Amino acid sequence: MFNKVDFKEDILKILKIHFGKSLDNSLSNEKYYAVSKAIMNLITDNWIKTDIKYKEGKEAYYFSAEYLMGRALGNNLINLGLYEDVKEVLNELEIDINNIENLEEDAGLGNGGLGRLAACFMDSSATLSLPVTGYGLRYNYGIFKQEFKNGFQVEKADNWLKHGDPWSVKREEDTVIVDFSDSKVKAVPYDTPIIGYGTNNVNTLRLWQAEPIMEFDFTLFNEQEYDKSVKEKNRAEDITRVLYPNDSKEEGKILRLKQQYLLASASLQDLIREFKLRNIDFSEFPKYHAIQLNDTHPVVAIPELMRLLIDGEGLDWSKAWEITQKTFAYTNHTILSEALEKWYVPLFKKVLPRIYEIITLIDERFVEELKSKNIKEDKIEEMRIISNELIHMAWLAIHGTYTTNGVAQLHTDILKNQELNDWYKLYPNRFQNKTNGITPRRWIALANKELTDFIAELLGQEDWLTDLSMLKELEKYSDDEEILNKFLGIKREKKEQLARYIKEEEGIDINIDSIFDIQIKRLHEYKRQLLNAFHILDLYYRIKENPNMDFVPKTFIFGAKAAPGYFRAKGIIKYINEIAKLINNDPKVNEKIKVVFVHNYRVSYAEKLFPAADVSEQISTAGKEASGTGNMKFMLNGTPTLGTYDGANVEIVEEAGEDNNFIFGARVEEIEEMKKNNSYDPEKYYENIKGLKRVVDTLIDGTFDDEGTGMFEELYDALLKGASWHEPDHYFIFRDFDDYRKSHEEVSNAYKDKLVWAKKCWINMANAGKFNSDRTIRQYAEEIWSINSKRI
């Protein structure tokens, strides 16, 4: 039971103990810290009870290099059901809850969808009272902070810990040692509570931080060799200093491999230490542990468990391998062959020689298995875990686990029938689909309180936040003019809120009455932000030619970060910013279209963007996006999809109907046919599609300035000449350009009739129930992990 008086006293006490201050003279970030710690005090008993309860039986462990958690305060209050109570207490203390929420740094320990999915899964596991623990790395600096300088992306350090981290507890007593060929480091765990919604259960996210065995060499320091005295400390801390360090050079690749191994080794040592307290045979290990490998980053855990069982516990190979295969499951997140992680043998061997030995033995035994099945030599060579001086981590993952799952039905079908067909034939019973989902607690209850309250009012209760299928009941209002107008009123309110925020953050005024067309996701060529940019520029030229054309005003909003070493992606950002400068500074056009590339796209920014969108841009090349989860967040907030038949878009259309969304472009089958017959000719589209050549040529004709970097010419050449590793227009931008343009015209026509538009939005929201991460996690629990709910 929440006691407001006690909570208020807790806040004041924490301010006094931690900062030596009273409420009157404490800083805003100190107040944030005190409020957060007071909430930690509320949940600690339940956190301890949950841990004890879960240890009674089998548990699942989610190994992920990324957890894009975002801000904790608001989300935790929503899940505790205490948001309004705490707000009332803070009002009495003259503390603005919105102010301290905005002071919290995003825990940006992820790059995009992969890390945000992991965060949603943690929320759902706790909400369902499922015994699931997350394991990851506690990076000192998360995904970089993005700024724009003359339109170029500039990366700044993301010091998310600068005000401390009130939401984690350092567990020094659980420290383990991780060995590399050239050093040993301490892996120190920090535990973060994951608070479930509508339950007393509090799950755990354990993040490892690398620390030196010896803080500094006193003798060297005394001899005034200051840099040398802290060399070991710096090298150790480098391992968890930055999320995904640039690996364009060998040093960066070594650092990434060390990150992956630290995560795997520390986590497995942790589990084995706990298991040994049971005093039972190691053959029972899979009975108590299911480990999900989130993509290939933690797959080195497979040979590491073998090492720990053989070298550490004295098991023979066959027994250790049986345990290993029964313990691990693998989630594949990509169809892109270039994104299936591979390690160069000399580098891997240099850093982890014993692990390399074990992988070679796994590979040799695997070859024998394939020969026993009369598989041809050339096929064996294609499937070998080690071939052409490369270790194929995805192959190791499929072979060394008991299930491999895709993350949307189309993705899984492509894996089974095309990309991993040989593996599917070998292990047909191991392949599963688990369509991704999102947590409604953050992505509507926190991000869109107005719509949340309206839905609760219509449904007459709030259980829908754990049973999203109840939204289907709202379909009966799809022709109710009064309801739809209230719904449009909420959408307008969210657009006004976003417009104010964009004015504050970006200094740009946007038209509330325009269509908010939003594409927010990681910057990658296959996601085709460039297609969006070409269309916007084509629109600009058409308006210039015909100023009186019938036109619905549009605001195009982008949010994306490019990996620091990804030259083309950074070129696309610069190009879009050049287009924005051209359009936004043209008084004859900027009242009809406006372009905004928000800087430093992150979870807290996303929470403002998703609810305000009129159009959800999901325009990846068909067959390239494994799932997507942004498409689900838009849908839940009542936004139609403008997209290709790709990833989870397919299932969104199945749920809400193609007539309530805007689907365009080549389908997977057509693309595969063109590839098979080598029949795709980008030049044909470039020369013959009206307006296309004009916009593409702006990359090289001097319309825009890339300041001598060669970025724009490189983009042009990639489209028309190809490169050493791909053919021209690898992602079929030219093929889909005219279809995309026509879909935009359909959007504009539909938007003119407000009630027709509102109905499309409403039906999308009412059919978003499938895309709840609670559903996804329940399927993992039942069909992969074999674990049950355990409420305290």
- Rounded to whole angstroms, the Cα distance separating 455 from 468 reads 11
Q: Which of 633, 735, 741, 790 is catalytic?
A: 633
User: 325 near 402, Cβ under 8 Å?
Assistant: yes
Pick the catalytic residue: 522, 524, 608, 759? 522
3-state secondary structure string across 526-571: HHCHHHHHHHHHHHHHHHHHCCCCCCCCEEEEEECCCCCCCHHHHH
- In the residue annotation, 535 being an active-site residue is answered as no
130 contacts 781 by C-beta, under 8 angstroms: yes
User: What is the Cα–Cα distance from 122 to 327, expressed in whole angstroms?
Assistant: 20
Q: Is 579 exposed, middle or buried (0-12, 13-18, 19+ CB in 10 A)?
A: buried
Phi, psi of 446 (to 5 degrees): -85, -45
H/E/C letters for each residue in 37-76?
A: HHHHHHHHHHHHHHHHHHCCCCEEEEECCCEEEECCHHHH
* Amino acid identity, position 427: Y
Q: Quick check: is 326 catalytic?
A: no
Q: How many residues make up the chain in this entry?
A: 792
Task: Phi first, then psi: give them for residue 177, nearest 5 degrees.
Answer: -105, 135
Give the pair of three-digit tokens for residue 230: 């802290």
Half-sphere exposure of 509 (CA within 13 A, CB side): 5
Burial of 117 (0-12, 13-18, 19+ CB in 10 A): buried
Alpha-carbon gap, residue 257 to 235, rounded angstroms: 14
Catalytic residue among 31, 384, 521, 602: 521
Q: Does the CA dihedral 221-225-231-237 come out positive or negative?
A: positive
Does the active-site annotation cover 629?
yes
Candidates 524, 530, 529, 551; CA nearest to 540 is: 551
DSSP code string of 177-235: EEEETTEEEEEEEEEEEEEPSSSS-EEEEEEEEEEESSS--HHHHHTT-HHHHTHHHHH
Would you give the DSSP letter of residue 104? S
Half-sphere exposure of 195 (CA within 13 A, CB side): 25
Whether 494 is catalytic:
no
Residue 495 annotated in active site: no
Identify the CA nearest to 351 among candidates 340, 359, 362: 359
Grouping H, G, I as helix, E, B as strand and the rest as coil, residue 333 is: coil
Q: Is 633 a known active-site residue?
A: yes
Q: Which of 50, 621, 629, 698 is catalytic?
A: 629
User: From CA 538, how far away is CA 557, in angstroms rounded?
Assistant: 16
**Closest to 439 (Cα-Cα) out of 118, 673, 676:** 118
CB-CB neighbours of 456 under 10 Å: 15
Q: Which of 37, 495, 527, 775 is catalytic?
A: 527
Please tell me whether residue 449 adopts helix, strand or coil conformation.
helix
* Active-site hit among 37, 186, 307, 333: 333
Separation of first and last alpha carbons in the chain? 16
Among all residues, which ones are annotated catalytic? 333, 521-522, 527, 629, 633
